[in-house]
Amino acid sequence: MTRRLSARFVTPLRLRVRGRRSDLGAATAEYAVVTVAAAGLGGILIKLLTSDWFLDILKKIFELIIRTVLSFFGIG
């Protein structure tokens, strides 16, 4: 009959594989980097979308689209 080893005895055995360090914390570090990058990108997008320069470009694009649609129907 074999006995099961508890997690506290098994975990340290997996930390080192042939003298190399384990990658157990790598996923957490990657999530942290992606979260910081997403927050930075979000900040840049908010700054861009609220700027007068970008709002003027959007206004010109929408005016062009409306003018094109109206001329297609012969209204403009």
Q: Which residue in the block uniquely carries the two structure tokens 């109206």?
A: 70
- Could you tell me if residue 62 is inside a domain? yes
Residue span of the structural domain in which 41 resides: 22-72
- Could you tell me if residue 50 is inside a domain? yes
The pLDDT of residue 28: 87
Tally of CA atoms within 13 A in the half-sphere of 76 that contains its CB: 10
- Could you tell me if residue 35 is inside a domain? yes
- Could you tell me if residue 2 is inside a domain? no
- Total structural domains in the chain? 1
CA distance 49 to 3: 62
Q: pLDDT tens-digit profile of 11-51?
A: 555 555 566 776 777 788 899 999 999 999 999 999 999 99
- Could you tell me if residue 9 is inside a domain? no
- Could you tell me if residue 30 is inside a domain? yes
User: What is the pTM for the complete model shown?
Assistant: 0.50
- Could you tell me if residue 59 is inside a domain? yes
What band does 2 get if pLDDT is binned at 50, 70 and 90?
Answer: low
- Could you tell me if residue 11 is inside a domain? no
